[in-house]
Structure 1
Amino acid sequence: MPMLQFRSPVAEDAYRCHAIETGAYEGDEAATLEKIATRITQYPQGFLLLESDGDIVGFINSGCAHQVVMSDEAFKELVGHDPAAPNVVIMSVVVDPAQQGKGYARQLMQAFVAQMKAAGKQTIHLMCKAQHVPLYEKMGYRYVQPSPSEHGGMAWHEMVMAL
């Protein structure tokens, strides 16, 4: 049984996170190394890593906003992010493709939700592809609408969880 541990990132983790992100997402969906490094530096409280036996196998990263506009591409670079804002916007929920199917995404999400509740946040928002909508509904998210975002040339769907 692997030893699992959740932790906050440090700057050096950006390279491994970028490798996981580019391996798991299609085409232009993946965040650049620079965006991941910015998210770690500017808002480590919204970035949660999962390690298995000391190796990073997945992560969630986010920013916070007073008014959530899911299609705002600049927000992915934390433009308009306010750590004191009540609404969390998840930018990535990703598990290394070699580690998928082990329940790591669910465990990451449960730990992340608990962390955001403890921080006094009110809502968590995310966008996902159509095939992931049922998964997020099982995790407690409510479907909002198809998103106007065309990030990475894909169709996205907006989801929200009230905390």
Structure 2
Amino acid sequence: MQPSVQLRNARPTDIDRCYEIEISAYEGDEAATREKIATRIAQYPEGFLVMTRDDNVIGFINSGCAYDVVMSDEAFKELIGHDAAAPNVVIMSVVLAPEEQGRGYARTLMEAFIARMRAAGKATIHLMCKERHIPLYERLGYHYVKPSPSDHGGMAWHEMVMKL
């Protein structure tokens, strides 16, 4: 990681920039709304890790926690059913500003996120991704579970999990 790049929990002042990055990276309805991002920061800032350069957000991972993970549960994206004490983490977004992609930052961000969740005593991390991202997540230590019944944003998704 370059010395000028930092990691920290998201703050309410990051909402607009995170939303800007979210809509630049995800297609159509698959991007979270500004309101969902605000809710995620407000309700679970320790699960919302941002990467900054000169205190400008360039990427982030956000998540919630559940006792029973149902990856196709759309309400969970608004943190309905989220419980910070639950052992299972569900990642909702992993995103870098387009101009920051291809520099290894996604790996840096994910490795730091995994370390934080492990230190917090979490048992698993779950995520959904597009087929083209399966090899990336496998290299990071995730295991393929199954095609997801979710059609979020009209896209085909695949469920993956990492045991911590």
* Counterpart mapping for 1:121-136 below 5 A: 121-136=122-137
List structure 1 runs of 4+ shifted beyond 4 angstroms.
none
Alignment-derived partner of residue 64 in structure 2:
63
C-alpha distance in 1 between matches for 2:81 and 2:17: 26
Alignment-derived partner of residue 25 in structure 2:
24
What amino acid maps onto 2:161 in structure 1?
Answer: V
SS in 1 for 2:62: strand
C-alpha distance in 2 between matches for 1:82 and 1:10: 19
* Counterpart mapping for 1:112-127 below 5 A: 112-127=113-128
Q: TM-score, normalised by structure 2?
A: 0.98
Q: TM-score, normalised by structure 1?
A: 0.98
How far 1:25 moved relative to its partner? 0.5
C-alpha distance in 1 between matches for 2:123 and 2:24: 32
C-alpha distance in 2 between matches for 1:124 and 1:3: 28
Alignment-derived partner of residue 148 in structure 1:
149
SS in 2 for 1:82: coil
Cα pair 1:126 1:160 within 8 Å, conserved: yes
Alignment-derived partner of residue 6 in structure 2:
5
How far 1:2 moved relative to its partner? 5.8
Alignment-derived partner of residue 75 in structure 2:
74
Give CA deviations for 1:55-95 in whole Å, capped at 9, x if unaligned.
21100000000000000000000000010000000000000
C-alpha distance in 1 between matches for 2:138 and 2:14: 30
C-alpha distance in 1 between matches for 2:83 and 2:43: 10
Q: Give structure 2 stretches of 5+ with no counterpart.
A: none
Give CA deviations for 1:119-156 in whole Å, capped at 9, x if unaligned.
00000000000000000000000000000000000000
What amino acid maps onto 1:44 in structure 2?
Answer: P
C-alpha distance in 2 between matches for 1:77 and 1:49: 19
SS in 1 for 2:150: coil
